[in-house]
């Protein structure tokens, strides 16, 4: 809802808020204020904007990267993420021009997207497409621990997104797209009965009469890998990265095995909506303001709660969600079944043959995506089914003292003291 209330995505309208300009071709004004860098609500303990100093484009952080922010376990960080759609080379690498071609006024094009497109290096021949914010060092995180990232809020920054299908990519390589060019579909956001929806036409150039509800999540959430080589941003792995699991909406958590001291966490690839499989290549890609809580789960506590966790593990209010990944989808499925068996045994002590029977009778295995070089499968294990079985909860470690004051600090426009961003990236930052 507008007019002083909240809609389903955490936007509040107020009497003093500037009325957004209309998005041409949608027949309606923008359904919420534009969240330019540093404007609007910033609820986290820290604010991390997307700037040339705080992002990588097409690569993921590794152990050699200096953190752009240092926090204590339990802190929350509000992060402005930037979608890669609209800034890529095949779209002109000029988001102002690209989106103006779809009727978007310059005031609704994000300033940080414009700056990143103009000044951050990316080699389209060797790098991925994703803009990744980080890394964030979490004090006390050590290899063997789990980093728990709780998704507190996800707020759309703009009232539109893009869905793309590119040659050589997607589920139907060689069939779609037809013709010589890549296909990028603009989708405006509209409010329908108090809920935000993405919209599409039935025919190219027609009115957008198809509407689907938004369910925002971050496609990329990860921790740094060991060594001094930055991974490509597309394939997911044990470090997380581009896992594209659409269950990771507000109120859920992702557990990741820590691989380097401080974890060096990062996020990106913001999505407004995605179907399981992500078959065309991308979701409805669009920029989000994410507020996340980062907590360190010590190794012994993690093992007592879940057994041995060797890859991303999602927890929703209803499900525990182990994962499996492999370039071969069948192998990814088998890996997910093995992870599920290990979780049932590690958390509830279930005999393997009984766990296998339970999975066959009661657990859905979903295809996360088939378009990221490494395919992903995730299982939805209903925790209520085990309500009568004792289990240990993954309690986080106590915060290990204050964050060092040696790093440079910048704050949000709303409250510089409350939202501290420490920028300390070293040399060699080009992706």
pLDDT in tens, 132-157: 999 999 999 999 999 999 999 999 99
Residue 140 sits in a domain of what CATH number?
2.60.120.580
Contact (CB, 8 A) for 148 and 297 = yes
| CATH number, domain containing residue 362 | 3.10.28.20
242 plus 336 within the same structural domain: no
Residue 336, in any domain of the structure: yes
Q: Are residues 50 and 128 in the same domain?
A: yes
Q: Where are the alpha helices (DSSP H) in 175-309?
A: 299-306
Closest CA to 246 of 382, 361, 151: 151
Tell me if 115 sits within 8 A of 121, measured CB to CB. Answer: no
- Do 290 and 341 reside in the same domain of the chain? no
Low-confidence ranges of the chain (pLDDT < 50): 1-19, 24-27, 401-431
Per the CB < 8 A criterion, the answer to whether 156 and 271 are in contact is no
363 domain residue, yes or no? yes
Please tell me the predicted confidence (pLDDT) of residue 431.
32
Looking up tokens 């109120």 gives 251
Instruction: Please check whether residue 3 lies inside any domain of the structure.
Output: no
Nearest CA to 363 out of 385, 393, 335 is that of 385
Is residue 409 a part of any domain in this protein?
Answer: no
CA atoms within 13 A on the CB side of 237: 13
418 phi and psi, to 5 degrees?
-85, -30
Q: Is residue 247 part of a domain?
A: yes
Residues 137 and 175 in one domain: yes
Rounded distance, CA 60 to CA 130, Å?
9
> What pLDDT is recorded for position 398?
79
End-to-end CA distance of the chain: 41
Q: Are residues 232 and 366 in the same domain?
A: no
Domain, as residue range, for 167 = 22-297
For residues 348 and 282, membership in a common domain is answered with: no
Task: Confirm whether 262 is domain-assigned.
Answer: yes
Domain count, the chain: 2
- Check whether residue 290 and residue 331 sit in a common domain: no
pLDDT of residue 171: 98
- Rounded Cα distance between 24 and 100, Å, is 10
Phi, psi of 158, deg, nearest 5: -140, 160
- Per residue in 111-129, is it b (16+ CB within 10 Å) or e — as a string? bbbbbbbeebebeeeebbb
Asked whether residue 429 is domain-assigned, the answer is no
pLDDT tens readout for residues 253-302? 999 999 999 999 999 999 999 999 999 999 999 999 999 999 999 999 99
Supply the pTM of this predicted model: 0.88
Question: What pLDDT does 430 receive?
Answer: 34
């Amino acid at each position: 809802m507008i007019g002083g209330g909240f809609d389903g995505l955490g936007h509040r309208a107020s009497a003093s808020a500037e009325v957004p300009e209309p998005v041409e071709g949608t027949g309606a004004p923008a359904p919420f204020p534009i969240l330019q860098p540093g404007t609007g609500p910033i609820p986290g303990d820290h604010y991390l904007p997307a700037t040339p100093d705080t992002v990588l484009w097409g690569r993921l952080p590794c152990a050699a990267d200096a953190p752009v922010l240092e926090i204590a376990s339990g802190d929350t960080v509000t992060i402005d993420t930037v979608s890669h759609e609209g800034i890529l080379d095949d779209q002109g690498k000029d988001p102002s021009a690209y989106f103006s071609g779809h009727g978007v006024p310059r005031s609704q094009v994000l300033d940080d997207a414009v700056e990143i497109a103009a000044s951050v290096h990316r080699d389209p021949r060797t790098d991925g497409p994703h803009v990744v914010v980080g890394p964030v060092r979490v004090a006390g995180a050590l290899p063997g621990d789990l980093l728990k990232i709780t998704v507190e809020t996800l707020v759309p920054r703009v009232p539109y997104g893009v869905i793309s299908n590119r040659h050589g990519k997607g589920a139907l390589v060689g069939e779609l797209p037809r013709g010589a060019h890549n296909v990028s579909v603009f989708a405006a956001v509209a409010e329908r009965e108090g809920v935000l929806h993405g919209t599409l036409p039935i025919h190219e150039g027609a009115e957008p009469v198809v509407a689907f509800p938004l369910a925002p999540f971050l496609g990329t959430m990860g921790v740094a890998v060991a060594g001094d080589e930055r991974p490509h941003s597309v394939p997911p792995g044990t470090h997380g990265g581009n896992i594209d699991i659409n269950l990771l909406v507000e109120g859920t958590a992702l557990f990741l095995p820590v691989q380097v001291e401080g974890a060096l966490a990062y996020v990106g690839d913001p999505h407004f909506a995605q179907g399981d499989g992500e078959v065309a290549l991308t979701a409805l890609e669009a920029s989000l303001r994410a507020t996340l809580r980062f907590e360190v789960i010590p190794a012994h506590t993690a093992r007592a709660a879940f057994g041995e966790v060797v890859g991303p593990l999602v927890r929703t209010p209803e499900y525990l969600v182990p994962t499996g990944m492999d370039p071969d989808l069948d192998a990814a499925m088998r890996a997910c079944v093995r992870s599920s068996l290990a979780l049932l045994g590690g958390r509830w002590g279930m005999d393997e043959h009984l766990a296998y029977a339970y999975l066959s009778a009661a657990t859905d295995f979903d295809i996360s995506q088939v378009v990221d070089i490494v395919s992903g499968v995730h299982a939805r294990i209903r925790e209520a089914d085990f309500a009568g079985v004792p289990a240990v909860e993954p309690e986080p470690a106590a915060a290990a003292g204050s964050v060092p004051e040696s790093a440079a600090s910048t704050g949000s426009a709303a409250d510089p003291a409350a939202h501290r961003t420490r920028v300390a990236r070293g040399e060699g930052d080009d992706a």
